[in-house]
Amino acid sequence: MRNAPLDAPSHALPTAMLWVMGLSTVGVCVASGLYLTLDHQRVLGWSLAGSLYLMSLVEPRLGMVFRVFFLALGVFISLRYMVFRTTETLIFTGPADFAFMMLLYLSELYGVIIHFLGMFVNVWRLDRKPAPLPEDQSLWPTVDIFIPTYNEPDDVIFLTAQACALIDYPREKLAIYILDDGGTLAKQNNPDPAAAWEARDRSERLRHMCDDLGIRYLTRERNLKAKAGNINSAFMGHSYESAAPGPDGALVPCAPLRTTGELILILDCDHVPTRDILRNTVGFFLKDPKLFLVQTPHYFLNPTPVEKNLQTAQDSPGENEMFYGAVQLGLDFWNASFFCGSAAVLRRSILEPQGGISGETITEDAETALGLHAKGYNSVYINKPMISGLSPETFADFILQRSRWAQGMTQIFLLKNPLMQKGLTFEQKLCYFNSCFFWFFGVARFFFFISPFLYLCLGLRVYNASMSQIVAYALPHLLASYVISNNLFGQVRHPFFSELFETIQSFYLLPAILAVALNPRKPSFKVTPKGVALETDFLSHLSAPFYFMLLVCLFSFLFGVYRWTAYPMERDAIIVTVAWNFFNLMMLMLCLGVVWEKRQIRRFHRFRAKGLVMLGDPDSTDWTPTALYDLSLLGMGMLLADASPYAIGDKLNAQATDSYGHTYTFRLRIERIFPWGGMHYVGTQFIIPDDEAMASVVAYVHGDSARFAHFARSLFNKRVGLLTGFYYLIAKSFLGTVQNIQGIRRMMGRLARNLATRALGVVLPQTARREP
C-alpha cells in the first residue's frame, strides 16, 4: 500500500491517474504500429501536431483528464516516429556506417525515453502550502541546524550563521552548529607547519565567530566521506567543540558533543535562510510520523556563468528553476521528491537507524532519499524559496559542480539502480530512474553533434530516410516534442535553453560519466568554490573543445558544398544535414559566449527587490517615500522622482518594513545618483557601526521569504513561443561570438604590450651600459 504523505492527493487519485495513463498507453502503442501510406502519415502527423499546438493554448485550464489526453497525443506522434525509425531506417550499408547509425539511433531512443519519463513525472504537480504549527509552542519539536563548511570564505559562513541566529523559532528548542571540516584534527596536526597553522587559524576564527553569534562550533578528527561524513559525525555525536595539546604537542579532542534535535535543518554554508523557514516546514512532521524529509527550493542570488556570460539572466529563468520550480513538484505528486543536500529538514529518528546520511556515492543526498523511500517513508516538497544561495562564479566551477552531480547520479544508476530497489512503488522507481538516467545526456549530445560531420565529411550513412519521410515522420515528432516541453516547462525553461545547457556541459560530462562506468566507486567529492571574485574578463581554460568543434562544424559546411555538387542524388539528405549542422553551429556560438568569463568583483551580490523605503535626514523628522529597486548586504538602491535634494556622500536615515511587519531603521551613505527610466536611481551603502546594526541588515536583506518568492514568480510568468525562443538564441549566439572575438583581441593586445614592455626593459638597460 502506498504511504501518502501529508497533503498529497488521496491514494485513489494517483491510482486513477495510473489507470488512465495505462489505458492511454495501451491504445497509443497499438495505434502507433498501424501501417499508413506516406501521404496518409504526412496528413496525420501534421494534423495531430497542429492539434497538439492548439490544445497547448488551452490545456492548463481544462483539468487532469484533458492533460493526460494531451500528453498521450504527443506520445502517439513520437511513437509513430520511433516505429518508423526502427523498422525502416536501420539499414546495413557497411560496418562503419552501421556502427555510427546505431549509436545515433540509441541516442535518439535515449532522448525519447527521457521525454516520455518527463511527461510521466510532470503529469500533475503538487503545489503545497506551508503546514501551520500548533499555537502551543511546547508541542513544537526541537531542531538542530547544521552548517557544514570546508574551505569557504569566513564572510560567506558568517552571513549564513548570522541569519540562522535570527530564525523565528523558540530559542530553547533551537541549536545551531557550524560543522568545520577545514579545521579537523588531521588538518591541525598536519606535518606541514604552514598547512597546520592555516587549519588552526581557521578553526580559531570560526570559534570566535560562533561565540559572537551565540552558536556552537564542531569539528571532527579526520576528513572521511566528505560532506556526508561531516554531517554524520555531528549527527551521531562523534564531533567535538574543542581540542587540547597532548603529551607530544599534537592536538587531541576533548569530549565529543552529542546533538539531540528531533529535526535537523541542513544548510550549505552559502545558503542564507529566511526567518520563517522552520515555521513553514516543521508543521509537516507533526502531522505525518512517517515523513523523513521536507525539501525547499535552492534560490540563487547570482546567475550561473552560462546566464551571466550570455547576459540572459534578466530575460529568462535560471537553469535551476526547471528542477525546483517544476520537476520537484511533479516528483512530489508521486511521493518521490528527494533530498538536495541543503535547505531541507530531516527527522532524526528515521535517519538514526541507518547511521545518518548515506555516503556510498558522491550524491549522498539523493542516495539517502532513495533508501528511505524504499523503506516506506515519505517526503514533502514545498515550493517556497526560503534560502538565498550562490551559484558557481566561473565556468570551470560550474562544470566541477555539474560533473559531481552527473557522476553521483550515475553511481546510483549503476550501484543502486532504482528499477531494482525493493520497497519503492512503481511510480517512485520511474521517478528515480528518470533522475539518474537524465545525466547520460552528455553521451547523446555528443553523437547528435558529430553526426552531420560523419555524413558530410566522411560520407557515413548514419540516417537513412528520404526528405518525404522526414517531413511525414521526423518533423511532426520534433514539433510535438517541443510543444509538449514548452507546455510542461515553458514558465521555468524557455525554448531551446535545455539544448544550450546540455551542449555546454556535454563535452565535459561525457568523460566524467565514462570514468564512473569503468569504476563506479572511484569518484570523490569535490567542493564547489563559492564567493569567488573575478577581477577581469578572461578566457576560460576549458574553452578548447568548443573551438575544436567549431572547426569541425565549419569544415562540415565546406564538405556540404562539395557533396551538393558531387552527389546530386543525395541533395535531400544534404539539405537536412546542413540544417542540422547549422543548429549545432548556433549552439557552439553560444558556447563561445559562455567561455568568455565576465568580471565579477562583488562579494555580495545585488538582487532585484520590491518595497517601500522612507528616506530622511538625520536631523529631520520629514520622510520621503521611495521605491526599493535592489538590495545587497552592502547597500540598497531606490528610485525617486526627484533626486535634487540629495548628493553623493550625503548620509541619510532609512526606514523599511518587511512582509512580517517588522520595521527596520538603517543609516545610509549615498554612493551614486543617475537617471533611470524617467526616474532617478539613488545607490546607497549601509553604515554598520555595530553587531546589532549588522543583524538588522541581514534580517531585512535575507530574512524575508516573500521577497524571493515575488522575484521568482516574476520570472516564471515569462512563457515565450518556439520561434521567439529560437530567434532569441540566434541573436545571443552572434552576440556571444562577437564578445568572444573582441575579448580575445583585447587579450592578445595586452599580451603584445606586455611582451613589448619586457623587450624594451631588456634592450634599454643594455644600450645605457654601452653609452660612455
Answer whether residue 376 is part of any domain: yes
Strands 299-300, 387-389: pairing kind: parallel
Answer whether residue 423 is part of any domain: no
Looking at 180, 288, 365, 658, which residue is catalytic?
365
Looking at 97, 144, 180, 181, which residue is catalytic?
181
Cα atoms in the 13 Å half-sphere on the side-chain side of 369? 29
Give pLDDT, residue 63: 76
Share the mean pLDDT of the chain: 90
Answer whether residue 615 is part of any domain: yes
Q: What is the pLDDT of residues 173-219, one digit of tens each?
A: 999 999 999 999 999 999 999 999 999 999 999 999 999 999 999 99
Q: What is the pLDDT of residues 414-452, one digit of tens each?
A: 999 999 999 999 999 999 999 999 999 999 999 999 999
Among residues 691, 716, 741, the one where a domain terminates is 716
Give pLDDT, residue 720: 82
Answer whether residue 363 is part of any domain: yes
* Residues sharing a CB contact under 8 Å with residue 357, sequence separation 6 or more, in sequence order: 228, 231, 232, 235, 351, 364, 365, 368
* Residues sharing a CB contact under 8 Å with residue 62, sequence separation 6 or more, in sequence order: none
pLDDT > 90: what percent of the chain? 72
Give pLDDT, residue 66: 85
Answer whether residue 602 is part of any domain: no
Nearest by Cα to 463 from 115, 102, 95 = 102
Answer whether residue 26 is part of any domain: no
Cα atoms in the 13 Å half-sphere on the side-chain side of 479? 20
Strands 272-273, 636-640: pairing kind: unpaired
How far apart, in whole angstroms, are the C-alpha atoms of residue 639 and residue 376?
53
Confidence at 742, pLDDT banded by 50, 70, 90: confident
Give pLDDT, residue 772: 45
Contact (CB, 8 A) for 356 and 327 = no
Answer whether residue 632 is part of any domain: yes
What is the CATH classification number for the domain harbouring 646? 2.40.10.220
Answer whether residue 288 is part of any domain: yes
Give pLDDT, residue 13: 57
C-alpha cell recorded at residue 78 = 513520437
Higher pLDDT, 199 or 751: 199
How far apart, in whole angstroms, are the C-alpha atoms of residue 229 and residue 181?
9
Question: Which helix (H) or strand (E) segment is 551 a member of?
Answer: helix 544-566
Give pLDDT, residue 694: 95
**Which stretch of 533-547, 634-648, 683-697 has the lowest confidence by average pLDDT?**
533-547
Total structural domains within the chain: 2
pLDDT over 70 at 404, yes or no: yes
Q: How many CB atoms lie within 10 A of CB 535?
A: 8
Which single residue is written with the C-alpha cell 556502427? 99
273 strand-pairing partners: 387
Q: Which domain holds residue 711?
A: 607-716
Q: At what angle do helices 193-213 and 154-165 cross, to 10 degrees?
A: 20
Q: Is 248 a catalytic residue?
A: no
* Residues sharing a CB contact under 8 Å with residue 80, sequence separation 6 or more, in sequence order: 32, 41, 44, 45, 473, 476, 477
Q: Given CA atoms 199, 203, 209, 210 in this order, what sign does their dihedral have? A: positive
Nearest by Cα to 332 from 272, 283, 384 = 384
Among residues 716, 743, 767, the one where a domain terminates is 716
What is the CATH classification number for the domain harbouring 186? 3.90.550.10
Question: Mind giving me the DSSP string for 589-624?
Answer: HHHHHHHEEPPB--SS--EEEEEEEEEE-TT----E
Among residues 716, 741, 758, the one where a domain terminates is 716
Contact (CB, 8 A) for 400 and 503 = no
Q: Is 619 a catalytic residue?
A: no
**Which stretch of 298-302, 444-448, 744-748 has the lowest confidence by average pLDDT?**
744-748
How far apart, in whole angstroms, are the C-alpha atoms of residue 218 and residue 181?
9
* Residues sharing a CB contact under 8 Å with residue 336, sequence separation 6 or more, in sequence order: 373, 379, 427, 428, 431, 432
How far apart, in whole angstroms, are the C-alpha atoms of residue 230 and residue 146?
10
C-alpha cell recorded at residue 174 = 533551537
Contact (CB, 8 A) for 348 and 263 = yes
How far apart, in whole angstroms, are the C-alpha atoms of residue 361 and residue 566?
53
Between the CA of residue 500 and those of 111, 494, 503, 550, what are the distances in Å? Answer: 15, 11, 5, 15
- Mean pLDDT, residues 253-268 taken together: 93
Q: What is the pLDDT of residues 567-626, one digit of tens each?
A: 999 999 999 999 999 999 999 999 999 998 887 766 788 888 989 999 988 776 788 899
